[in-house]
Structure 1
Amino acid sequence: MTSPPLAQAKARHLAGDLPGARALYETVLAEQPDNADLRLRLAILELQCGDGDRALAQLDRAIAIAPSDVRHRAMRAHVLHSLGRFAQAAAALREAIALDPGDAALHAALGNALQAQADHRAAIDAYASALARDPSNADVASNLGNSHRQLGALHAAEHAYRAALAAQPAHALALTQLGTLLDEQGCHDEALALLREAVRVDPHAPAALINLGVALCARRAFAEAAHVLAQAVAHAPLNADAAYNLGNALQGLGRHTDAATQFRRATALSPGHADAFNNLGNVCTLLGESAAAAHAYDAALRARPGFIAAHNNAANLLRSLGLYDEAIAHLHHALVRDARHSATHNNLGNVLKDSGALDDALACYRQAIACDPHNALAHSNLVYALNFQAESADVVLAAALDWSARHETRVTAACPDAQPARPRAGGERLRIGYVGADFRDHCQALFLVPLLAHHDRTAFEITCYASVARPDALTRRLAGYTEHWRDVHGLDDAQLARQIRDDGIDVLVDLTMHMADGRPALFARRPAPVQATWLAYPGTTGLASIDFRVTDPHLDPPAHEHFYRERSIRLADSFWCYDPLADEPAVAVPPALAAGHVTFGCLNNPCKLTDRTLRLWAGVFARLPDARLIVMAPQGAGRTRLIERMRAHGIDVTRVTCVPFRRRADYLASYHAIDIALDTFPYNGHTTTLDALWMGVPVVTRVGQTAVGRGGLSQLTNLDLLALAADSDTGFVEAAVALALDLPRLQSLHEELRGRLERSPLMDGARFARQLEAAFRRMANVV
């Protein structure tokens, strides 16, 4: 019979009055020190108060008093498990099982202790023993599935989860676990249905809500994911993963400020949450908060040293800031962790290319492809970068065709039913769609403004598909010229293809090709009946799904047709129509008039400063011992390499001045210090040449075989300056030297070039728009 004080102690214990219950228990214990049941109750109370060691002391006494009572050993194992002492817990459970081998709960608890030690094979045996004694225990079956999954036995895991659900169809955890397993195996529809059912069964369970949200994010259903994950945060405000995944969903929606708030919340709740820090860095980068992004990446790497994604993201940020040496250091750290990480090799190639190490960049792209033959991004970068090195168009075409064989065919095989509508009848407005990532403060805007501002709205309906991460004032200006503006940065290729089909586009124009943020896989889906390229660069995509490429007669004489997979449509005058988008700075007089020597200059991208270019220039400087040279080169190892390469080609580097990358107004003002611009080879300057001409600086070019190597010829032809376009190295040197020695002619060119450019087809937006529109009509009629 229970004594009154003990009965009162139990009542207070059940009521949650732990201090009162303890006092009564201890009063009774003083009278009954050998009461094992009382010591068990005190152990439970001590554990509830958070004192595991005092709980174990009571249980040790209870076991000594009643060694055959399995309850004490089972409780001791429970306390040890709660303290994270899993091996000791397993030992205690084995002692309990020896006393009562038929108790299914003991076998299940042993499985839990072994699973916590990652001893999954032993855990599987324990769970199997538990289920042999209690086949309908859904919790045990679910845990059995988890251990099989950890060992990679996915079929056995699936069987165990389904057994759990057969025993208890509304088992939210088993629904979640089976759903995530099937999602990983590609059974996405059934997986999503299971995850939704888990939330329906237990709408407040954070695990169910989080996993459903993750699955929805993977399907780019970001709006629904954000709704689900907001509920997870509401029900589990201290769950860092709930906040982290809500941040991912908000980032997918383009709500970068809100995403940053959730990532910061996740890192506050879990200071070691490396993924949250990494993604915080990504959204800060998108928000233009470079210092905050760098801090976040550093925190991610402190939380997880060697974190490859954080090293890569930090490197990409540093690359965007022109800090190439620091970016390269991050990427080398990542490669130490995984020497075959394809994305790292690709990103290293990008940084090396920007810094002027073109050959090394190409090697990195090839290594990226070798590590992952399906890395279409690295393969695009290789195709584009080869344009800077190859003097023969066949080299680029072969690489582009290889891209198509590896990647385009996979897309078209997966989308066999993509059949766009046929073009409209001749009297209807033709719907033109422009797809690009550079509708912003970017050199492409210098060519998009004059075109979009002059399109004939009565005959053409214009839609722009802008994949712009950070829209700016130029984005808004360009949008104002179009009837339909689609912000598609958050859409994947399949979603964008559906949008384009829904819009009924007749001619879809790729403005990016294989350049950064290009979408060749979109065009492989054939969302429009006619697909063409323009503006990115005058080359080839190599895609079977691109029908036409816009060019001009100077870039591509008729004999060049075999250089391209696409059919060439030549505009009458020029591939380019330019608008400097500013009247300032004004043109200056040639600095040679005051300096007493000629200053040559080249403000092209450093990756165009190939050995071929430097050999060409060396001939000029050998003839003009007093001439100076200004080049644009980044600070750091890239500049040092360039100077050494110049020295190796015989250029006196004491006559060379390097200037950094500058914002557009300051960059244009740099031409005030230049008398004559020297072009690059085999990839000529394009925008840079027009900028130089706008600033009154004549450009001497070397004409090559490839279209990108004939840009100078095309532009100078339109200005009636063919004397500055040379077909040979010797002719290039002669043209440059002759102009340098003819100061009156040089001064005259400085005075008249801007006006000549303004009056030429190169700045006649209406004329260019009519020619391009005629080309679109021709394309639509041919297909």
Structure 2
Amino acid sequence: MAWTENDAGSVREKELIEDNGFLKGSQPSTGTSGSPVVSSPVQKGFEGKDALSYANILRSRNKFADALALYESVLEKDSGIVEAYIGKGICLQMQNMGRLAFDSFAEAIKLDPQNACALTHCGILYKDEGRLLEAAESYHKALKADLSYKPASECLAIVLTDLGTSLKLSGNTQEGIQKYYEALKVDPHYAPAYYNLGVVYSEMMQYDTALSCYEKAAIERPMYAEAYCNMGVIYKNRGDLESAIACYERCLAVSPNFEIAKNNMAIALTDLGTKVKLEGDISQGVAYYKKALYYNWHYADAMYNLGVAYGEMLKFEMAIVFYELAFNFNPHCAEACNNLGVIYKDRDNLDKAVECYQLALSIKPNFSQSLNNLGVVYTVQGKMDAAATMIEKAIIANPTYAEAYNNLGVLYRDAGNISMAISAYEQCLEIDPDSRNAGQNRLLAMNYINEGHDDKLFEAHRDWGRRFMRLYPQYTSWDNPKAPDRPIVIGYVSPDYFTHSVSYFIEAPLVYHDYANYKVVVYSAVVKPDAKTNRFREKVLKKGGIWRDIYGIDEKKVAIMVREDKVDILVELTGHTANNKLGMMACRPAPVQVTWIGYPNTTGLPTIDYRITDSFTDPPDTKQKHVEELIRLPECFLCYIPSPEAGPVAPTPALSNGFITFGSFNNLAKITPKVLQVWARILCAVPNSRLVVKCKPFCCDSVRQRFLTMLEQLGLEPLHVDLLPLILLNHDHMQAYSLMDIR
């Protein structure tokens, strides 16, 4: 059974708006001094009227120096003209001579204590110096003098808002809120006060109130980009991504270069891409990820998720490109390195996979997924001790990492320690009772230590089948045509139509099937097709059959395909071994369903009606139980077609060696203590005989020594035993059979 490698599919989000996601501060004021400049009404009934009028005209045209000279000449002639003092003060103010300006306004106030204009300008000068309380007091006096004087109310709203922000930042949040409301009482249309209320209510997590305040700010100031942006943040954090994106779009419509909004848009679009992808629309997910990069071309999370999506679409070249881009723009993205390792491992580039996993661990030393995946590669390479170390570290880093326990079970199984393998699978199932890998691996392992007539073995398969059925909907009717002259449609589903042990037994049925009277549909779930896959496909198509590649397609969708093909009899060839499609069989897409070849026991699935076998494998008086009805073929239930790479039969090595060489090329799980006892008796009974055993884990010294020690305890000298590790090329593997006389 294969194990699962996990990738890190989650998006690391960050809000780019300052201070917990919200912009702060009151709305900036206008004018050189940072506040609006107001003008007094023209007064009448005094001498020097023409000079004063001309000074006002010069001032209105921003000729402040010339106007100032005229005002001073007027005041030299008559020091009691209030309007001249105000005009002089404004000219001084606009030339950044704030202290002299203040003195001029003060003179005007002495002459006219109720002059709203002079009081307002004094408030402006106080505000420019940061003396907000004095500014507010001066504005209040101006309004008391003249309630209809709009500049004073506008300025008071500004300074009250600034006071509110100052109080809030110093920790006096409630007093700050009070000042914002005072500002709105003075000027109900002052948008920045609504905006800052939105900020403070957002920080207090009173999001409905915050949204209302932001909306009012936007109504009063339709171009208020920050308000739209912060509304988007609230909607995004609530999971309402569509509303968040709409707010960011409004923001960017009025401020196209607002970087914070563009970055937040990229985040929201990436999240929406992940959402729709998980809902099943992977193409739309990819579209959203790409749109995110339009707003932020260096957003690593969008690139990373594109890598994940393309990997799921089996577009591995594109996945590699985007994982590498993600790592380039975020050198701390260990997940991208890990997922690159998964792709290279699946491509059998194990050295590159190890390099990627190690790079991920250099970034995150306790990254449980990369620790686990590195252990997987070491297991494949037969480096059992190194594999165990890595997987145990993964479990220490994440004690609830279910698949790590499953992979530890695979490791123990490959090393021949079946009881420990089953224990590891059961630990995985305690954490994740629906773990398909661990559940099926446990059943497969139990075959090695439980006798076929053991009720415990049957009950384990039956119980698994009942639980597994709950995960899939079952069809109860079929619309297959019932015309008597219609050819019966037979479907064969397997992941093993490549150079795999099952392929040597399925080739004959596929090639010699009665295609004239039966319609044959082959469903191929091969992970990595090879020349044998291509040969099978060509032969099936040439004979008139149908070949469908289903690798990577959800099993429920495969079930729909089977129903659309009107399959009458569906035969699965895998059982509880790697990459099986028992989930599709659980849906019962065909009225008659059969299991054959790939598994030596019942599947436990009630939706499988028959199991094809023979009287030798399952004698008529067998006590082994099955949920399926046994169909015993005459003679043998399978037919072996040897590999063309096997070559001619070589002369028996005993002729040149002078002794008999026994051998077995098999995994250690099948070499049980009972098998070893039989081997030891045979070798001890045949003088000078030798034993050759080839197995992947024999590249590990500890496994070799353990195996030799067991044989030695049974009376077999280790010097008479040759242990060979995995031979990668199938041709070399076949040639190695010439080392043995009896297999």
Answer whether TM exceeds 0.5 for this pair. Answer: yes
Could you say which residue in structure 2 is the equivalent of 1:454? 512
Amino acid at match of 2:451: E
Listed as ranges, the matches of 1:464-503 within 5 Å are: 464-482=522-540, 483-503=545-565
Which of 312, 315, 322 is the aligned partner of 1:262? 322
Higher RCO (CA 8 Å, separation ≥ 6 residues) = 2
- Matched residue type, 1:254: L
Q: How far apart in 2 are the matches of 1:537 and 1:29?
A: 94
Q: How much has 1:335 moved relative to structure 2?
A: 0.9
Q: 1:658 to 1:135 in 2, by over 3 A?
A: same
Equivalence for 1:117: none
1:362 aligns with 2:422: yes
**Secondary structure of the corresponding residue to residue 137 of structure 1:** helix
Q: Is 1:137 matched with 2:214?
A: yes
- Per-residue displacement from partner, 1:679-718 (whole Å, max 9, x unpaired)? xxxxxxxxxxxxxxxxxxxxxxxxxxxxxxxxxxxxxxxx
Partner of 1:374: 434
Q: Is the 8 A contact 1:419 1:526 kept in 2?
A: no
Aligned residue-pair number: 576
Distance 1:623 1:287, change over 3 A: closer
Residues 463, 3 of structure 1: CA spacing in aligned structure 2 closer, same or farther, 3 A cutoff? closer
From 657, 664, 687, give the equivalent of 1:602.
664
CA deviations on 1:722-747 (whole Å, 9 max, x unpaired) are xxxxxxxxxxxxxxxxxxxxxxxxxx
Equivalent-residue separation in structure 2 for 1:494 and 1:666 (angstroms): 40
Flag the 1:76–1:262 CA change in 2: closer, same or farther, 3 A.
Answer: farther
Alignment of 1:331-410 (within 5 A): 331-394=391-454, 395-408=456-469, 410=470
Query: Does the residue aligned with 2:688 lie in a helix, a strand or coil?
Result: coil
Q: Which has the larger radius of gyration?
A: 2
In structure 2, how many angstroms separate the alpha carbons of the residues matched to 1:495 and 1:98? 57
Q: Is the 8 A contact 1:411 1:525 kept in 2?
A: no
Going from structure 1 to structure 2, the CA distance change for 1:28 and 1:136 (only over 3 Å counts) comes to closer
SS where residue 644 of structure 2 aligns? coil
Q: CA deviation at 1:99?
A: 7.8
Contact 2:571 2:596 in 1 (8 A): yes
Q: Decide whether aligned partners of structure 1 residues 297 and 529 sit closer, same or farther in structure 2, where only a CA change above 3 A counts.
A: same
The letter of the residue matching 1:239 is Y
* Cα 1:643–1:547 shift into 2, 3 Å: same
CA distance, structure 2, for counterparts of residue 35 and residue 624 of structure 1: 119
**Greater shift after overlay, 423-432 or 603-612?**
423-432
CA contact (8 A) 2:164 2:180 kept: no
1:504-523 to 2 correspondences below 5 Å: 504-523=566-585
After superposing the two structures, state which structure 1 stretch, 383-392 or 258-267, moved more. Answer: 383-392
- SS of 1:319's partner is helix
Opposite residue 507 of structure 1, the aligned amino acid is I
Shift of 1:418: 4.8
- For 1:318-359, what per-residue CA distance to the aligned partner results, in whole angstroms no more than 9, with x for missing partners? 333333332222210111123332211111111221222222
Which residue, 237, 243, 247 being the options, matches 2:307?
Answer: 247
Write the letter of the residue equivalent to 1:647: E
Q: Equivalent residue for 2:503?
A: 445
How many angstroms apart in 2 are the aligned matches of 1:423 and 1:550?
26
Q: TM-score, normalising length from structure 2?
A: 0.69
Equivalences for 1:677-696 in 2 at 5 Å?
A: 677=743
Tell me which residue corresponds to 1:277.
337
In 2, Cα distance between the equivalents of 1:107 and 1:236?
30
The residue identity in structure 2 corresponding to 1:624 is V
Calculate the aligned-residue CA RMSD, in Å. 4.0
Distance in structure 2 (CA, Å) of the matches to 1:313 and 1:584: 34
Q: CA deviation at 1:392?
A: 2.9
Residue number among 736, 739, 743 corresponding to 1:670 in the alignment:
736
Residue 316 in 1 paired to residue 382 in 2? no
Residue number among 652, 656, 665 corresponding to 2:721 in the alignment: 656
Give the whole-Å Cα distance in 1 for the aligned partners of 2:689 and 2:710: 18
1:53 — aligned with what? Answer: none
What is the CA distance between 1:550 and its match in structure 2?
0.8
Taking the TM superposition and a 5 Å limit, the aligned residue runs for 1:689-708 are: none
Q: Residues 424 and 430 of structure 1 are in contact (CA less than 8 Å); yes or no, is this contact kept in structure 2?
A: no
Task: Give, as a single letter, the amino acid of the residue that structure 1 aligns with 2:537.
Answer: A
What letter is aligned with 1:227?
A
- Paired with 1:638 and 1:139, the residues of 2 have a C-alpha distance of 73
Distance in 2 of aligned mates of 1:452 and 1:316: 34
**1:560 Cα deviation (Å)?**
2.5
| Residues 96-133 of structure 1: CA deviation (Å, up to 9, x unaligned) | 72882635655554566xxxxxxxxxx4xx243x8658
Match of 2:76 in 1: none
Contact kept, 8 Å, 1:93 with 1:109, in 2: the verdict is: no
After TM superposition, the structure 1 stretch with the greater mean CA deviation from structure 2, 426-435 or 242-251, is 426-435
1:550 equivalent in alignment to 2:612: yes
1:475 deviates by 1.8
Distance, in Å, in 2 between the alignment partners of 1:469 and 1:307 is: 27
Amino acid at match of 2:718: V
Spell out, residue by residue over 1:290-330, the C-alpha distance to the aligned partner (whole angstroms, 9 max, x if none).
Answer: 33322222222233232222222222233333333322222
Is there any run of 5+ residues in structure 2 with no aligned partner, and where?
1-28, 38-92, 103-126, 137-157, 182-192, 218-226, 253-261
Report deviation, 1:170: 13
After superposition, the Cα gap between the structure-2 partners of 1:437 and 1:584, relative to the gap in structure 1 and judged at 3 Å, is: closer
Q: Which residue of 1 aligns with 2:626?
A: 564
How far the C-alpha of 1:194 sits from its partner, in A, is: 7.2
Contact 2:568 2:591 in 1 (8 A): yes
- Is the 8 Å Cα contact of residues 274 and 304 (structure 1) preserved in structure 2? yes
The answer to whether the 8 A contact 2:341-2:356 is kept is yes
For the structure 1 residues 583 and 439, does the alpha-carbon distance in structure 2 shift closer, same or farther, using more than 3 Å as the test?
Answer: closer
- The aligned amino acid for 1:603 is F
Letter of the structure 2 residue corresponding to residue 307 of structure 1 = F
Classify the secondary structure of the residue corresponding to 1:491.
coil
Partner of 1:764: none
Identity of aligned residues (%): 27
- After superposition, the Cα gap between the structure-2 partners of 1:199 and 1:611, relative to the gap in structure 1 and judged at 3 Å, is farther
Q: Which residue of structure 2 aligns with residue 622 of structure 1? A: 684
Q: Measure the CA separation in 1 of the matches of 2:433 and 2:239.
A: 30
For each residue in 1:469-491, what CA deviation from the matched residue of structure 2 results, as whole angstroms up to 9, or x when unmatched?
22222222222233322222221
Please say if 1:100 is aligned against 2:179: yes
CA distance in 2, matches of 1:669, 1:174: 68
Matched residue of 2:539: which SS?
Answer: coil
Paired letter, 1:399:
A
Cα displacement string for residues 360-408 of structure 1 (whole angstroms, at most 9, x for unaligned residues): 1111112211222222321111111111222233343121011012222
* SS of structure 1 residue aligned to 2:286: helix
Displacement of 1:601: 1.1
Q: In structure 1, what residue type is equivalent to 2:615?
A: P
Aligned to 1:638: 703
Q: Matches of residues 273-312 of structure 1 in structure 2 within 5 Å?
A: 273-312=333-372
Distance 1:310 1:424, change over 3 A: farther
**Contact residue 228 and residue 250 of structure 2 kept, 8 A:** no
Distance in 2 of aligned mates of 1:559 and 1:626: 40
In the TM superposition, residue 207 of structure 1 has moved relative to its aligned partner by: 2.9
> Following the alignment from structure 1 to structure 2, what is the Cα–Cα distance between the partners of residues 556 and 4?
97
State the AA in 2 paired with 1:642: F
The question of whether the paired residues in 1 share the 8 Å contact of 2:645 and 2:734 is answered with no
The answer to whether the Cα contact below 8 Å between 1:131 and 1:137 also exists between their aligned partners in 2 is no
Looking at structure 1, the residues matched to 410 and 180 of structure 2 have their Cα atoms a distance apart, in angstroms, of 64
Equivalent residue letter for 2:707: L
* Partner secondary structure for residue 532 of structure 1: strand
Counterpart of 2:637 in structure 1: which amino acid? F
Contact 1:93–1:110, Cα closer than 8 Å, also in 2 = no
CA distance in 2, matches of 1:171, 1:623: 86
CA contact (8 A) 1:446 1:579 kept: yes
